[in-house]
Amino acid sequence: MNQEILENKLENIKEQIDTYPLSKEDSKRQFIEITEKFDLKHTFDFEEAWEVTQELRKRKEYRNRVVKFEEEIQNIDGALVGKELHKVNPTKHSFADGCYIREIFNPAGELIVTKIHKKEHPFFLMKGNMTILTENGFKYREAPYHGITYPGTKRVIYTHTDCLFITVHVTNETDLEKIEEEMIAKDFDNL
């Protein structure tokens, strides 16, 4: 089968999955039929495959919704973006032997949609408290708190009080534009 035909078939399957996903029962029946027809051996059973599929769908739905939410709030009168946002959220940049340290102040009562992170890195909430929405739901965090940001993370944050947030990134780069290019994805396809 040539590459173009295969790509068309895969696109048709993707469209079917997005438009008319099979029920769990139909998916199980298809899994069993194809496994038997082609005498396939799996390292997983149907329930495991179904669970992974549901997690991937949940992630995709969250990502689509958070991007749409960000687009909608950016169109609200008074929403701060770009340089105006940075005036209200001053950032301090430091460098130390292969590390970029980013310290940002977020005032109380702010709703923030973060960028999409490409690389794993630690973060530290040094002051204040906030509620953070991720693919795994809402989490209330109060300083002092630290955690790990994983690739593909895009958060919605509400600051209950003034907050001081620090991230640390491994890089030898010191040019902020180049660091952002290295650390931040333009969209979820850019990971």
Instruction: Tell me, yes or no, whether 183 and 89 share the same domain.
Output: yes
* Cα radius of gyration rounded to whole Å, the chain: 21
179 confidence band (pLDDT: 50, 70, 90): very high
- Contacts of residue 129, defined as CB under 8 A and 6 or more positions apart, other chains included, come to 140, 141, 142, 143, 159, 160, 161, 163
Sign of the C-alpha dihedral computed for residues 109, 85, 60 and 12 taken in this order = positive
Residues 163, 86 share a domain: yes
**pLDDT digits 0-9 by tens, 31-89:** 999 899 999 999 999 999 999 989 988 999 999 999 999 999 999 888 888 888 889 99
Instruction: Say if residue 127 is in the same domain as residue 179.
Output: yes
pLDDT, one tens digit per residue, over 15-24 is 877 777 888 9
Least Cα distance to 168 among 141, 144, 146, 136 occurs for 146
- Has this prediction a pTM greater than 0.75? yes
Residues 92 and 145 in one domain: yes
Same domain, 131 and 90: yes
Q: What is the pLDDT of residue 6?
A: 77
Convert the pLDDT of each residue in 133-169 to its tens digit. Answer: 999 999 999 999 999 999 999 999 999 999 999 999 9
Q: What sign for the dihedral angle of Cα 165, 123, 175, 112?
A: negative
Domain boundary among 74, 96, 122: 74
Average pLDDT, the chain: 92
Which of 42, 58, 74 is the endpoint of a domain? 74
Higher pLDDT, 130 or 26: 130
Contact 127, 141 (CB under 8 A): no
How many domains, the chain? 2
Do 24 and 113 share a structural domain? no
Q: Are residues 181 and 113 in the same domain?
A: yes
Range of the domain at 124: 82-190
Compute, in degrees rounded to 10, the torsion defined by CA atoms 115, 138, 76, 125: -50
The phi and psi torsions of 173 (rounded to 5 degrees) equal -75, 145
CB-based contact 130:141 (threshold 8 Å): yes
Residue 97 and residue 177 share a domain: yes
Assign 1 a pLDDT band (cuts: 50, 70, 90). Answer: low
**CATH number of the domain where residue 151 is located:** 2.60.120.10
- Spatial distance between the Cα atoms of 106 and 17, rounded to a whole number of angstroms: 41
